[in-house]
Every structure is written in C-alpha cells, then in structure tokens.
Structure 1
Amino acid sequence: MEYRKTSPSHRGFPPLKRTLQVGKLVAAVAVLLVLGALTLLAGAAAYFQLERSLPSMQSLRDYRPSIVSTMYAADGTVIGELAAERRYVRPLEEFPRHVILAFLAAEDANFYEHKGLDFGSIVRAMIKNIEAGGIVQGGSTITQQVVKTLLLSPERTWVRKLKEAILAYRIDRSMTKEEILYLYLNQIYLGAGAYGVEAAARTYFGVGAHDLSLAQAALLAGLPKAPSRYSPFHNMEKALERQHYVLDRMVEVGFLSQEEALRARQEPLHLLESLEGTTYPLNSFTEEVRRLMEQKYGARMLYREGLSIHTTLDVHAQHLAERAVLEGLRELDKRHGYRGPHGHVEDSQTADFSQALAKKYASPNPGDVVEAVVISCEAQERRCRVDLGAKRTAVLNLKTAPWAAGYFASRRHLFSKGDLVWVRVEAQGSDTTPWVVSLEQEPQAEGALLAINPQTGRVLCMVGGKDFSKSQFNRATQAYRQPGSAFKPIIYATALEKGYTEASVLVDSPIVKEDPSLVGSWKPANYDNAFWGPITLRDALIHSRNVVAIKLLESVGIQEVHEMARRLGIRSPLTPTLSLALGASGVSLWELVSAYSAFAAQGLRVEPYMVEAVYDRNGRLLEKHQVRQERALSPQTAYILTDILQGVIREGTGRSVRSINRPASGKTGTTNELKDAWFVGYTPDLLTGVWVGHDDHRLSLGPKETGGKAAAPIWLSFMREYLRESPVENFPVPENIVFAKIPKKSVESPAEGGRETFAAFVEGTQPKGPQDTTTLTGSSTESAAETTSGSFFKSDLFWGND
C-alpha cells in the first residue's frame, strides 16, 4: 500500500469548518439570549413605568362625582339647578331591572361572567364591524368604560388601552359587580348635558329612572355609543334604529321574549318636546341667589358638590310680580302712542320666518304677546291679516287699539306686507276660523319690583327688569337711582323723633338758596308750581310738598337725617346738601324697601334675605338664616309715620291705589324731568317697592309720568292680586298712641279751611287747639319778598316732583 503524505495546508480543514459553524450558532444563541434578556428588562421596565403611571383606584371606592346643586322655593318647588355636569347619583337598587338589563344587553351582556375583559366580545365585535363595513359594535366591557370615564383620559392610544385593560382586570378583582354597575349607571354620559341614567330620564322624558318604561330604557341604553348621533331630540329615526338594536340584543341574550320586544317597539316614548322642558327658567331672584351662593361657597362647590339651597321665594308671588311689571310697562308705553312695526321681512324670507315663529311660539294661549308677520291690510276697515306661524292666520282689528290712532291717522296704508308687529292673542282659532289678536308693542322703559315680609325680611319675589332673557342686569339690587320724594319719609321720621308731630305747622312758601354747585341760586319748587302757605306736617308729607321737605331737613339737620338713613339700612353715599330732601342721592330699590320695613314693623328694621338654609350633598346643614331685627325708630314714631302714609293713599299723591280697599301705607317718588318713578307701600304683613325708568339716565318717562301714575299701578296690580284671599288687617297701634282731630288741606282746594281729620300722637303731645304750636317758616337765607304766600318761583332745578 502506497503511503501519501498530506499537505499541511489541507490538514484538519473539515474539523475547522465544523468549529466555525458551532461558534456561529453559539454566538447567535448568545445574541438571542442577550436580546431576550434586554427585551425582558425593557418590558419589565416599561411595565413598572406603566405601573407607576396608573391612577389610584381609591377614587372609585370614594366615588364623589360632580352632581347638581338644586334651588328650592319656599314651598319645596324646584326653581333652579346649577351644575357643571347634570347628574343625580342614585343607588343601584333604585334602577328597575329592565333598565339594567337594557344597558347590559347593549354594552356588556357577559358582564357577570368575565373578569373585566371580554375577549369573546372583542372578537365578535370585530367580525360584526367587518361585515357591516364600519364600526357598529364595540368590544369594551362596562368595567372598561368605568375605567375610561373615571380614571383615564379619552385619548385613543395603545398605551391608554393597555392601562385600561390592566385597570379593568384589577377593578373586577377588587370590587363587586354591583359596585361597578352602580358607578357605570351614574357616570355614563347620555347626551343633552345628562350624566347618568337618572339625569337622562329627566332630560328626555321628564321622569325619574324608576319610572322609565322598557321602550324608554332601551332608547337610553342605545345612547352611550354616540349620544349626539342617536339623540331623539336631533334625529329620532336614528334613535329608534338604535332602540330596536337594543331590544333585539335583549332578545338575543335571553333578557326578553320576542313578544315583549315587539310590544316595546310599539310603546309611545312620551319624549319631551325639547331641552327647554328639562330646564328651569332663570329670573332675577334665582340669578341673585346664584350669585350670592357662588360668592359665599365658590364656583366648584356650587356647580359640583350638589348643594341644596332653600330660598324664600313664593312662586305665585313671583309670577304675579313679573306679570304686573310687564303689563304696567306696556300701559305706560301705550300712553305715548304707537311707534310702528319693529322690523320687516322680504317675501323670499317669509316662509322661513313663519317656521321660526311656529317653533318660537309652539302653542300661544289667550293673553300671550307674540310676534307676527303682516300678510295684508284693509285700510278702510282698519283691519289686517297676520301670520303667527304654523299655518295660524289671525285677524288684527286696529279699531280696538285707540292708543295707536295717532300713528295711523295720516297713513294711507296701515302696514306693508312683511312688517313685523307685536300682537296679543285674544282668541284661538281653528281649522275654519282665524285667530283673533290685538295690537301691542314692546315697552321701552324698564321696571323693578321687590316684595318682602316687613316683620322678617323674607323676600317673597323680585323682578329686576321686564325680560330677564334679554337683560340680566338686576334693577332691584344693582341699579342706584334717585328716589325723589320716596326718600322724604326718612326726613319726616327724623323730625318726628326730634319732637315734631302730625299737627306741627310748616309754611309752604318760596325759598332761594345759594348752591356753589349750580350757576346762580337754587329756587326749588313744588310739582304744581304753587305754594300753599301754612300746612301741617301731616298734609305736607301726604301731598309731598317739596319746599316744606327742604325746610324740614334744614331744621332737623342734614347729619341727623344721614344717621337716620344709616339706621334704616341706606348704605349708598348721601349728598350733604339740602337737595337730599328731594331724593337727589341715588339708592337701590333693595335699600329703600329695607328702610321702609322699619315703618311697617313698629320701628324694627330687618335686612331682606333670600336664602333660608343651605345643605351639602350629604344633608349636613351649612347655614340657616336667623332673623335679626334692629331698632331704628320708636314704635310710636313708626306708627305715626305709617298713619301719615295711609293718608298718602287715601287722599294724597298715592290716590291711584285706593282701590286696594284695605289698610295700606305708601309713598310716591318722582325725580327731575320725570326720569324715575317710584312707589313703596305696605300692609301689616307685606311690603313692596316698585321702580320705573330707563336704563339710560338721560331719558324721560314722558309727560306727567309720576310715581303715582307710572309705578303705583304696578304696585296695586301685584298687591291686590296677591292679597286677594288674605284677611283684611289693621296696623297694630302701639302703647301711648292717641288720636285727635287736626285741620287738613285738600289737593283740590289747598286754601279750603274748616276741614278736619284724625291724626295719631304720642300721648301728651296732641294739640290742644286748632293747630300745634310748633311752626316752621323757613331759614334765615330766605328774602322777605320770597316768603309771601302770594308769590312763587318756577323751579330751574327741582327733584322729587311728587
């Protein structure tokens, strides 16, 4: 056998190749192991980072959602709701079984079987969505939805979904199914500002969750997927489509029989017409309470912590007051004629505008004032046809509007087609007969009314303007206007406290005062530009004699009147001049009513208040009002002033309200150039103040629009209606009051003598002769010629006209 020597270059090659292959394999394995380890480390790090970023579940155990704060009237009627989220939390047992089943069928039929995540539902939802070519079904469980709404942000990222899954699993292990369902039914958003099933039931159907029918429950259960898209207010067709899906699901999962589902489809929903049916109309009273509560407790507590606010409001009184103010302003406006149409629509816009009217005035009742579009007019018959919307045609007979005759006197055409007018519904029509309306117009002036119980200060009602929806400025609390002669009782109260009596004789004669704030001398005058000569204090106030009030102020002292005003609750700055006698310093209606409370309550003044009590969400009392009376006048002074102010209504500047036909006291007030008109009056248990004027201080109410003519009728309308069923009561007479006859003057014949009236006196101060010995003629700054009874000066500047 031949031996062949192997070349060194080839020796061991095959073993080397194998070695290299094994090395590569080992290296690859090592790399994989390292990568795996790094991945595990990275995953662990990511998990721990995710773990640290997960929110605490403690907030679920301490569930304290934002809920509605509710405002109640004195009789318990709900008058307002304040909330960032409209929600009413209810225990699970208050939700009917069919309501719970409807939501389970729509959102999570396997809720009681899974552990927070339902992988079968996720797969089924994917298949359904693929078949439908869009998203028609979701895979999230109710537990996941609770996590999403209470613990996480709504962003759509894989990190949030991972957090959601982890938390859902943990929640399912740490909470019972009932606890999770309780959170879900109270937290879920169901559209139209409603959070939770209870709020949604009230919003869409005007009932509580416990009264929901199966059909209603199925409709609500279809909303969580897309509340806006399936809203029955906006798209009833889509809402019903979703309702049917929920009912079908209830049948599919065994919650309902097919017959029950079919019956539910036929059930009427009794849907509210709009969101307006679920809200409470705000007014000056509720807005003032809201402002006070926010100032006291803060916005977060008011809008999120479910306060129960019990107010003093008398709902009936508020309704009467709003009507009295608006109707009084309308009558004032009509006295100055018709201003014509307030707008016009072209033919091309008439149809759209008619539809808008139909929506705005869905069902006008007799007495309602609505907007209308003129269709045609017959000038000779002084009659027009107008469109009220919703195919309602009305006949407008202008012969029934004599107050507008001046406007139409020189017009060839009454109105043009398309003119917009305000009308009052007199009679509703039918398919065969037209509606009947009368002409109206929106008043230009504004008004305010405040009524309180003078013994306690409880505010029964408040009107801050003619239309709260157009102006939220509260003229009862925020407007500071000159009160005119309505301020005079404060001066007379000071005089009575200083020893004057009803029989004290004053002299109504011209005066001239030097006032550095004016160019030239100040020559105040009375409203009638006449001077009555000697006059008792009683008659001077009853007939609101301006010059006498100035003399009286000068006699008792401006500082003393300031102090009296402060004791009576006037907090506004008061001018330290004699023009104070004529109400030249601005005050609010709230302040003036507060001041008069002392006259009505035997000298004890109370601060008006609007909130009786406030409770937190758990029923714990936060505050309760305690009536605090302050002695401002002696009982005798208060009664004597009340006696004089009764004369104002019986025979003085307030004669226009005599038809109240019960003991009542009051005072008119009118300012320079008839810019402000006031009437503040009271019975033993009810005190009401009224102001009328323009927001623009430069505008006059019009000729002869005094407090007795512009404001007093509003007072009378409210008081007469509100007190209609109340017994007639006399003012209580305090101790040491006696009555005696004194002379009186008549506004019709000021110089007439021999007439007498009974007046009230503190015992021992009554006159022993025809008149009291106290006589006030005027100050030393008067000239002799100006004090003669036969002369007078026409005022260059005067306040407090009546």
Structure 2
Amino acid sequence: MNKPATRKPAARRKPPLRIRAERWLPLLKPLRRLSIVAGCVLLVSFIALFSFLFYLRNQTLPTASISQASQMLDQQGQIIDTFHTGENRQSVPLKSISPYLIEATLAIEDQRFYEHLGFDMKGLARAAVVNLKAMETKQGASTITQQLARNLYLTHERTWNRKVKEAMYTVQLEMTYSKDEILGMYLNQIYYGHGAYGAEAAAQLYFNKHASDLTLAESAMLAGIPKGPKYYSPYNDMKNAKDRQRTILATMVDQNILTREQADEAGEELLAFQPLGTGKQDGIAPYFRDYIRSVAIDQLGIDERLFTEGGIRIFTTLDPEAQLAAEEAVEKGIPSSSEQQAALVAIDPRTGYIKAMVGGRNYKTNQFNRALAKTRQPGSSFKPILYLTALQEGAMTAVSRFKSEPTVFTYDEGRKTYAPHNYNDKYVNDFIDMRQAIASSDNIYAVNTIMSVGADKVIEMARSLGITSNLQPVPSMALGTFPVSPYEMASAFGTFANNGVHIEPTAILRIENSKGEVLYEAVPQAQQVVDPAHAYVLTSLMESVFETGGTGNRVSALIKRPVAGKTGTTATDAWLVGYTPELVTAVWVGYDKDRKLTPTEAHRAAPIFANFTETALSSVPPKMFAAPEGVVTVYVDPASGKLAADTCPNKRLESFVSGTEPKEVCGEHSDKAASSQQDPAKEASKSWWSQLKRWWTD
C-alpha cells in the first residue's frame, strides 16, 4: 500500500483587518462599556455641578450684620467723634483706600486674587507641601474671598460643617460681586486690633489720618496686623510689627510691585504712631456732640441703632478753632479751684451756624449742658429785646427819656404794684435816654419802657427772635426775671446782628448713610422779623455798653473791633451777650445750685466773652456794623432829647430810623442845628472804634 505523499502546508495568510478587529471585539466590549459609563458620569457630574452652581447663584447670601461706626465731622470735614457699639468701623469706598495698602494686603494675603475664582489651587498645593515638610500647619491658603465669607457669615470654629459652608459662601460671593467689590468689603471688614475694624478706622487709630492718605511704610505696617493683631500690633510688640512690615515689603519686591530701594526706604522710615486711646477728636466739644446726638435722633428722626451702628456721617457747623477758643476762654476765665460753672454758645448770625458750644467746665464729671438749660434768669441782658420792641412799635427812640429814681409801678388795673431797684441802688435822679439806660443798665428806665409798650408786645417780639422759654406779661419781665437758655439768647441777638433777619440756629448741615446717600440736608429758613433800620439803631445803642460808662467798658481794651452787646446780672447769674457782624456769643456764669455770686464772680462773664471773641476772630479783619437804608445820623442834646445846636456843649451823634429823628433844635443854645460833623474835643473821650464809626456814618 503506497504511502500518501506529504505536502508542506501552505503559509497562512493574515486575515483582513476587519477580520482581525473582530477577533478583538470581545475584548473591547467591556472597555467600550466603561467609556460610555465614564462619559455618562462626566455628563451627570457636569449637569450636577452646573445645577449646583445655578442653585447657589440664585440663593441669597445670609444677611451680614455688620455694624459701622458713625462719624461726626466739623465744618472743615475733620472727624470730631465716632459713635459705635463695640466695633469701631467706618466703611469707605475702595477708591478712598491708599493703593499702597491695597497692594500690600494683596501681596501678603492673596497674590492671585484677581486670577482665581475664589480658591487658589496653587497656593493650596504650596501650603500643603510646606505643612507636610514641617509636619504641622505652618502656612494657610485661604483666599481673601474665603476670609471674607468666614468673617461675614461664619464663626472661626474648625469643623467640616463650617468648611463646607465657607466654600459655598465663597462661590456665592464670587458669583455675586466683582473682584473690586469683594476686596472693598474685605478691607472695610477685617480686624486691625484695638477695636478698629476696617482700613479707615485703623488709619485713624494708628496714624490719625484717613486711609486714603497712608504712606507705603504705614500701609505695609497695617497690612501685617490682621494675621494676628495681638502679636503684630505695634502697640503690643514693636519688634514683631516691624519684622512683619519688612516681610511684606520684601514680598512686594519679589512680585515686582516695588524696587528694592523703595522697600528699603519704607522699611527705614520712622513712623509716627498716634498714642493709643488719644486722638485729636477726643475731648473736643463733648457738650456739642451730645447736642448733635439729641438733634439727630429726637428732632430729625434718625434711628438710634442707625446712629450708632449704621455708619452714617453727620456734617456739623462746628468751627474747631472757635471751639478751642471757647474752651480755653472758659478754662482761663474761672479759677481751677472754684466750683463756679459757665456756658457759652457762639453762632454766625449770617447763617445761623453754631460755631462753638461749651456746656460746662468739666464734661467728665458733669454732662449737664448749661448752654441749653432754660433755668437761668438773663437779667438785664434781656433788655435789648424790650428796647427793640419799643423802637419798632414807634413808641420810643434813642432819645426818649425817663427819670432814673426809685419808682413804684402800678399794673393789673391798679391791683398790683412793682418796685424795682437799680444795681446797688444807684440812681441818676434825673432824666436819661435809651443810650444811657442801656450803657448803665438802668432798671427804672426798663420798667418804664415795658409799661409804655406793653408786656404782650415784648413777648411777641421775643418769640419772633427765637425765645421759646416761658414768659409772663408782667413788669418784672423787663429785667429778665424769667429763665432762658444761652442758646436762646445767642439766637435772639443774632437777629440784631443780621439786620433783623432771624435764622434758626443750625448745628447739622447734612447726614449721609454709609453709601454716601443724603438722609437729611439742612435748609435754614431766613425770616425778616425786624426792620433793618431798627435793628441797626439798637446795635448802635448797644455799642455804648463797651464805651466809657458802660457796664462792659472794663473789657473794651481786650476787643480790637466794633462790638455791641449787653451785660446781665442777678443775684445768682451773670451774663454777657454780644456780637460783631460775624459772630454772636452768649456767655453765662453762675452756680448749679443757685448760690449767690460775689462781685468778682459776677464780673467773669465779660472777660470770657472778650477773650473768646478776639481769639475766634483773630484771622478776621475788623468790620463795622453797616448802616442800612432808612437810617439817619444827627447830633442831639442828651439833656433835652432835641437836635443839638452848634453851641450845645454836650452834643452827641445819634442814629434814628428816618422820620423819627428830633425836629426841634435845643432852644437853650441856638436856633441852628449842629451839622453832623465830628467834634474832635468831645470824640477824643470815646473809644477809637467809636470815632471811626462816627466818621464812617458821616
């Protein structure tokens, strides 16, 4: 049997590519399933993330209860006080914070703030490496946004719940606000130690300046404090604070923000720190500050919580130089060993703005504001209101005469009597005119005047001048027996100085909220309550108080400018209320418990007035009281009240409302009236201001 022939098997050809792929399909199927699953997972994750972000975007951030200190500013825009409950914070726009502080803060707290979306992954990785090498937490990686979220809405407890919420709020902040807005909120919220929250409060606390005015060296110092206020505060540890400052400057160099020369120069700069617990605003005008608070809350309706925590800014009329002059005048005017008190109110009669207010000698021991107290009898300082009434009613002129002698007056249809007395029972025992009566403060003349014009008319005039205190229509009102406040007296006399135009005193010009929106703006109302000519005639008469024979003559040498006013003295109170064209001031001295004044104690009001007036107006050139239209000036004979003749030995230049001047010439001397020219011999006995005034009016 033949053996079958053997044949070499043909070489196997490679299957087509499709056939080869099919061999791997069983193996690829699981991978394909895996990729589909992964894609689905990624898609679902993306949808979930988008939905979560959409959810967060539409969620309202928690309400952050951030109290802001309110500020009170003087007429120059300088802070005179801040109001806060625990947290001293004054929020300002980012543009009102020094660029140096902004750059220093970003350099040390969050270098990539404008690049990340709330979380700095590079910073987080770097911090993780550093902490791993040190085997402890040496470096943090919280961004400014994270810190803001924590400070605004959370506590600083270290729990996972707090961390999750912080992350959520961080995302919401980034989606809700711009980077500048977040940075602005951060710099207004962060704690700088010693009760100061925010850059503005810190700048005021440490350097007594606005945040916008901080230098590079000051900014680098402040930027280092928030990391640990107790540790890096220059008040607590200057070495630590200085080391931290230099670290920040070096970091700014590394980031090409500064040159090495700039950093070295700033590091060597000697900083002038404000002594802790002091400040130029501390202790200034404490009675005025209390008054502002009462006006804002009680009169303007500002909510008390808004006042103390709402970050409002109250712009006032206070003149810091005038206020300092007032406080010094009161301090120097009464011996430190005395228990005597004093009050002073100064107002610009042209605007009604309160320029200075002193309510007592020591606010720390007694906060009672005597400048506003309607508890003191004005005495003879009330008389100008009476005389103005008589002038305006046409009942009297400057030369109307009454006899100065002990007199018993009958009133209330004869059922009552009143027997006033002059000070120390001194009487001329002859007829005197209104100028003499005002200069010497004659009481008999005053009561004769009120009996002639009517007490009701005087009360009506007082009300139009701003006197709101209780007044009774009795003869004694002429002598200032009904209590009023220095504030009211300054308001009334301001009308005399302002040509008969009364402007209600103003202390608050404007109130703004923390956003700069105006909550209140003063609109002073001016009202012509007295004819300008009558107001001028009264002013002219009251200038005699500071001339020879006047009750204020003893301080005339201290006042280097035209001034008018009136003194007032009772057993327990002493006053001087006076004015120049630019400033009206009421000064009261006395005791809180109605203790009687000695002559020396009663004479202290006038020097306080004189010293304050000259100091407060030291930069203001002297100015005459300008005579308005409707005023004529003629020479009169005081003895007769008639026009003075050329040969009259005692003629006096006197002002009248046109038409009320005397027409008859004094017949004892000549039928020819004296011309309104100066009499050098006679004028030489008067003050040089009086001579200048006579020349001006002629």
Pairwise same-fold verdict (TM > 0.5): yes
Name the CA shift for 1:490/1:116 in 2 (closer, same or farther; >3 Å). Answer: same
3-state secondary structure, aligned to 1:692: strand
3-state secondary structure, aligned to 2:168: helix
Residues in 2 aligned to 1:100 and 1:704: alpha-carbon distance in whole angstroms: 61
Name the CA shift for 1:124/1:636 in 2 (closer, same or farther; >3 Å). Answer: same
**Which residue number in structure 2 is paired with residue 530 of structure 1?**
426
**Which residue number in structure 2 is paired with residue 589 of structure 1?**
486
Structure 2 residue 550 is the aligned partner of structure 1 residue 652: yes
**Which residue number in structure 2 is paired with residue 9 of structure 1?**
none
2:294 maps to which of 270, 291, 295: 291
3-state secondary structure, aligned to 1:609: coil
**Which residue number in structure 2 is paired with residue 367 of structure 1?**
none
Equivalent pairs, count: 590
**Which residue number in structure 2 is paired with residue 671 of structure 1?**
570
Cα distance, 1:137 vs structure 2: 4.9
2:613 maps to which of 719, 728, 731: 719
Instruction: Using structure 2 for the length normalisation, give the TM-score.
Output: 0.73
- Kept in 1, the 8 Å contact 2:104–2:249? The answer is yes
Structure 2 residue 394 is the aligned partner of structure 1 residue 495: no
**Which residue number in structure 1 is paired with residue 186 of structure 2?**
184
**Which residue number in structure 1 is paired with residue 503 of structure 2?**
606
Letter of the 2:554 partner, please give it.
Answer: S
3-state secondary structure, aligned to 1:540: helix
Query: Could you say what the CA RMSD is over the residues aligned between the two structures, in angstroms?
Result: 4.0
- Kept in 1, the 8 Å contact 2:144–2:183? The answer is yes
Residues in 1 aligned to 2:493 and 2:422: alpha-carbon distance in whole angstroms: 24
Structure 2 residue 216 is the aligned partner of structure 1 residue 320: no
Residues in 1 aligned to 2:97 and 2:410: alpha-carbon distance in whole angstroms: 78
1:758 maps to which of 653, 665, 668: 653
Residues in 2 aligned to 1:655 and 1:666: alpha-carbon distance in whole angstroms: 11
What does residue range 167-316 of structure 1 map to in structure 2 within 5 Å?
A: 167-172=169-174, 179-206=181-208, 209=211, 212=214, 216-240=218-242, 242-243=244-245, 266-277=268-279, 279=281, 281-283=283-285, 284-295=287-298, 296=300, 297-316=302-321
**Which residue number in structure 2 is paired with residue 683 of structure 1?**
580
- Kept in 2, the 8 Å contact 1:116–1:172? The answer is no
Moved more, 545-554 or 106-115: 106-115
Name the CA shift for 1:723/1:475 in 2 (closer, same or farther; >3 Å). Answer: same
- Deviations along 1:625-680, one digit per CA (max 9) or x if unpaired, are 334332333334323322221222213212123323543221100112xx211111
- Kept in 1, the 8 Å contact 2:83–2:307? The answer is yes
Give 5+ residue unaligned stretches, structure 2: 1-47, 641-647, 668-698
Residues in 2 aligned to 1:204 and 1:624: alpha-carbon distance in whole angstroms: 32
Letter of the 1:715 partner, please give it.
Answer: F
Cα distance, 1:278 vs structure 2: 6.9
Residues in 1 aligned to 2:133 and 2:482: alpha-carbon distance in whole angstroms: 77
Cα distance, 1:486 vs structure 2: 0.5
Moved more, 187-196 or 468-477: 468-477
Cα distance, 1:169 vs structure 2: 4.3
Cα distance, 1:688 vs structure 2: 1.9
Cα distance, 1:110 vs structure 2: 6.5
Percent identity, aligned pairs only, is 38
Cα distance, 1:595 vs structure 2: 1.5
Name the CA shift for 1:163/1:721 in 2 (closer, same or farther; >3 Å). Answer: closer
Structure 2 residue 141 is the aligned partner of structure 1 residue 147: no
Letter of the 2:485 partner, please give it.
Answer: S
Cα distance, 1:741 vs structure 2: 1.1
Name the CA shift for 1:105/1:121 in 2 (closer, same or farther; >3 Å). Answer: farther
**Which residue number in structure 2 is paired with residue 463 of structure 1?**
358
- Deviations along 1:293-329, one digit per CA (max 9) or x if unpaired, are 3442223444455444443333332222222222222
1:165 maps to which of 164, 167, 177: 167
- Kept in 1, the 8 Å contact 2:94–2:180? The answer is no
- Deviations along 1:685-720, one digit per CA (max 9) or x if unpaired, are 3322211122x23323323543xx221112211223
Letter of the 1:527 partner, please give it.
Answer: Y
Residues in 2 aligned to 1:698 and 1:756: alpha-carbon distance in whole angstroms: 44
Letter of the 1:598 partner, please give it.
Answer: T
Name the CA shift for 1:75/1:250 in 2 (closer, same or farther; >3 Å). Answer: closer
3-state secondary structure, aligned to 2:471: coil
3-state secondary structure, aligned to 1:228: helix
3-state secondary structure, aligned to 1:462: strand
**Which residue number in structure 2 is paired with residue 789 of structure 1?**
none
- Kept in 2, the 8 Å contact 1:666–1:682? The answer is yes
Moved more, 453-462 or 73-82: 73-82
Residues in 1 aligned to 2:501 and 2:263: alpha-carbon distance in whole angstroms: 68
**Which residue number in structure 1 is paired with residue 443 of structure 2?**
546
Letter of the 1:74 partner, please give it.
Answer: Q
- Kept in 2, the 8 Å contact 1:507–1:548? The answer is yes
2:119 maps to which of 116, 119, 127: 116
Residues in 2 aligned to 1:291 and 1:690: alpha-carbon distance in whole angstroms: 22
Name the CA shift for 1:482/1:271 in 2 (closer, same or farther; >3 Å). Answer: same
Name the CA shift for 1:305/1:731 in 2 (closer, same or farther; >3 Å). Answer: same
Residues in 1 aligned to 2:258 and 2:621: alpha-carbon distance in whole angstroms: 58
3-state secondary structure, aligned to 1:533: coil
**Which residue number in structure 2 is paired with residue 698 of structure 1?**
594
Structure 2 residue 563 is the aligned partner of structure 1 residue 562: no
Name the CA shift for 1:541/1:226 in 2 (closer, same or farther; >3 Å). Answer: same
Cα distance, 1:457 vs structure 2: 1.9
Cα distance, 1:580 vs structure 2: 1.6
Residues in 2 aligned to 1:261 and 1:641: alpha-carbon distance in whole angstroms: 68
- Deviations along 1:162-183, one digit per CA (max 9) or x if unpaired, are 3223323454566565554343
Letter of the 1:697 partner, please give it.
Answer: K
Cα distance, 1:585 vs structure 2: 0.8
Residues in 2 aligned to 1:109 and 1:764: alpha-carbon distance in whole angstroms: 83
Name the CA shift for 1:683/1:267 in 2 (closer, same or farther; >3 Å). Answer: closer
Residues in 2 aligned to 1:127 and 1:230: alpha-carbon distance in whole angstroms: 26
Name the CA shift for 1:154/1:647 in 2 (closer, same or farther; >3 Å). Answer: same
What does residue range 21-36 of structure 1 map to in structure 2 within 5 Å?
A: none
**Which residue number in structure 2 is paired with residue 481 of structure 1?**
376
- Deviations along 1:732-788, one digit per CA (max 9) or x if unpaired, are 14415343413259xxxxxxx9744333334245263659xxxxxxxxxxxxxxxxx
**Which residue number in structure 1 is paired with residue 75 of structure 2?**
74
Name the CA shift for 1:478/1:764 in 2 (closer, same or farther; >3 Å). Answer: closer
Letter of the 1:188 partner, please give it.
Answer: I
Residues in 1 aligned to 2:502 and 2:430: alpha-carbon distance in whole angstroms: 33
- Kept in 1, the 8 Å contact 2:131–2:138? The answer is no
Letter of the 1:285 partner, please give it.
Answer: F
**Which residue number in structure 1 is paired with residue 347 of structure 2?**
452
Structure 2 residue 106 is the aligned partner of structure 1 residue 89: no
Name the CA shift for 1:701/1:144 in 2 (closer, same or farther; >3 Å). Answer: same
Letter of the 1:687 partner, please give it.
Answer: V
- Kept in 1, the 8 Å contact 2:348–2:584? The answer is yes
Cα distance, 1:571 vs structure 2: 0.2
Name the CA shift for 1:450/1:68 in 2 (closer, same or farther; >3 Å). Answer: same
Name the CA shift for 1:127/1:303 in 2 (closer, same or farther; >3 Å). Answer: farther
3-state secondary structure, aligned to 2:278: helix
- Deviations along 1:366-416, one digit per CA (max 9) or x if unpaired, are xxxxxxxxxxxxxxxxxxxxxxxxxxxxxxxxxxxxxxxxxxxxxxxxxxx
Cα distance, 1:726 vs structure 2: 0.8
Residues in 2 aligned to 1:481 and 1:448: alpha-carbon distance in whole angstroms: 11
- Kept in 1, the 8 Å contact 2:533–2:631? The answer is yes
Name the CA shift for 1:558/1:207 in 2 (closer, same or farther; >3 Å). Answer: closer
**Which residue number in structure 1 is paired with residue 23 of structure 2?**
none
Name the CA shift for 1:547/1:145 in 2 (closer, same or farther; >3 Å). Answer: same
Instruction: Using structure 1 for the length normalisation, give the TM-score.
Output: 0.64
3-state secondary structure, aligned to 2:232: coil
